[in-house]
Amino acid sequence: MALIIPKRYKNKLLPETTEVAIKMIKDTFEQKLSGRLNLRRITAPLFVLSGTGLNDDLNGVERPVNFPVKAIGDRRAEVVHSLAKWKRTKLAAYDVAPGYGIYTDMNAIRADEDLDNLHSLYVDQWDWEQTIADNDRNLDRLKRTVEKIYACLKETELEVYRHFPHITPRLPEAVTFIHAEELRRLYPGLTAGERENIAAKEHGAIFIIGIGAPLGDGKPHDGRAPDYDDWITENEDGHQGLNGDLIVYDSVLGRGIELSSMGIRVSPDSLMRQLQATGKTERAGLDFHKSLLEGTLPASIGGGIGQSRLCMFLLQKAHIGEVQAGIWPEEQISACREAGIFLL
């Protein structure tokens, strides 16, 4: 997306007050999330060793920041993109029972991001993972979990309103579920992003199911790595996909904002089918993938929730740089300053 400069933008909090509000939002949402999903906090790595298969490769084209580690013979380590697979190994290591899970503060560097209102070099999110029973690998479990997370968003939004009554809530009462193929049929001829924005504006909050699998036109709604979310298994609605994206409509930017990506994780069977579908079968020999195929990792559901994006949305900011210190192109800084958007 190109940089969006809202007309007549009004900053509702001074920078000093914004810092206080950020802390309040993060503390509140973290408490709500851990309570509703039975999660306990664990410590997360900033980097992992290359070649283990643990790092999330996102859409498969983003390059991780990497460096040699002198103490182990210059073996290379890479800064995480997310902890989508690492968390599942921790569920196994800590023998977490079904219905319970873990969460962590994930910090990442994504050097290939195109910098704009929503994207920065620095990524901060709550990465969470919950053990489930094998018979819970279904669409109903996914939807119930999404609804719990959405309830946490609503409660946190209300807490912002209690502290700052001039920031009025915008989220609808409930999130609307729609499959990516249904969305494509509703709005033929539009791009995936355009379809998301129209549906988000209409409903206020949507969860798009089935991210990664080819749709009726042969193209996926969006890219998804083949080795964490299950996007190939047919669900109860007759479509492929046990994963999705949670998107809310942001009236400041006039578009949808993705706050979370999550899903039922791959089984040994769906992992192999997705590796074959994407031509990535060589990954079956990596440490993480071998553990999964050998049945040593539990069935799970998990995802990530953007911390800065959530703060940006709830505080009705126009740029993620208003809630997160970062590096931006000089022309972007100037354009924002002229519009009264002050980047940290």
Q: How far apart are CA 303 and CA 261, in angstroms?
A: 6
**pLDDT per residue of the chain (344 residues) written in tens, 0 to 9:** 689 999 889 899 988 899 999 999 999 999 999 999 999 999 988 898 888 877 776 666 678 888 999 999 999 998 888 788 899 999 999 999 999 999 999 998 888 888 999 999 999 999 999 999 999 999 999 999 999 999 999 999 999 999 999 999 999 999 999 999 999 999 999 999 999 999 999 999 999 999 999 999 999 999 898 999 999 999 999 999 999 999 999 999 999 999 999 999 999 999 999 999 999 999 999 989 999 999 999 999 999 999 999 999 999 999 999 999 889 999 999 999 999 998 98
DSSP state of 214: B
pTM of the model: 0.93
- List residues with catalytic annotation: 56, 110, 125, 245, 258, 261
- pLDDT, residue 313, reads 98
Kind and range of the H or E element at 308? helix 307-314
- pLDDT, residue 61, reads 67
Kind and range of the H or E element at 193? helix 192-203
Q: Which two tokens stand for residue 338?
A: 């002229």
First to last CA, the chain: 21
Measured in residues, the chain has a length of: 344
Sorted by where each starts, the structural domains of the chain and their CATH numbers stand as 15-338 (3.30.930.10)
Burial degree of 140 (CB within 10 A; 0-12, 13-18, 19+): exposed
Q: How far apart are CA 117 and CA 237, in angstroms?
A: 35
Secondary structure (DSSP) of 6-21: -TT----S-HHHHHHH
- pLDDT, residue 92, reads 96
Which amino acid is present at 264?
I
CA angle 243, 33, 323 (to 5 degrees): 90
Q: How far apart are CA 106 and CA 127, in angstroms?
A: 6
Q: Is 72 helix (H, G, I), strand (E, B) or coil?
A: helix
- pLDDT, residue 64, reads 84
Strands (E), the chain: 39-41, 47-49, 66-69, 75-79, 101-109, 122-131, 176-179, 205-209, 243-250, 255-264, 300-306
